[in-house]
Structure 1
Amino acid sequence: MNNQEIDIDEYIEQISLLLNLEIKDEYRNEMIADFEKLISIAKIVNNCPLPEEIEIAPVFEP
């Protein structure tokens, strides 16, 4: 995200409006905590350097 901070509470509010999804107040704090965890994990993954010789796989095969 190029060092941009996300207002998670505002994001949840906007996305719930777009999806026409009611989010109860008692769940909002848990959702914010989950998004904060996801953001911290994503930062670790995005900061992991990859060698130039790695190629993108055209098909995912587990």
Structure 2
Amino acid sequence: MENQDFNVQEYVKQMLILLDLEIKKDEYQDGVIANFERIKSIAELVNNFTLPESIEIAPTFEP
């Protein structure tokens, strides 16, 4: 799944409204946006990793 149009800053602003959260813009909002940028980068790595067709879902997780 590729979504290059995802705007992290707009996403954070919309979630603040949806969840009725108040984050002080000067103190914290830039940090929250930066963290979501990092999360987006990590998620893209995971989502773009292709698995072979022979992989089967395990019924239980055993470390």
TM-score normalized with structure 2 length: 0.79
Paired residue for 1:27? 28
Rounded to whole Å, the distance in 1 between the matches of 2:54 and 2:2 is: 24
Paired residue for 1:42? 43
Paired residue for 1:16? 16
Q: Bigger relative contact order, structure 1 or 2, given CA contacts below 8 A and separation 6+?
A: 2
Aligned residues: 62
- State the Cα RMSD in Å: 1.6
Deviation at 1:2, TM superposition (A): 2.4
**Which ranges of structure 1 fall in alignment gaps of 5 or more residues?**
none
- Structure 1 runs (4+) deviating above 4 angstroms are none
> CA distance change for structure 1 residues 6 and 52 in 2, over 3 Å: closer, same or farther?
same
Percent identity, please: 56
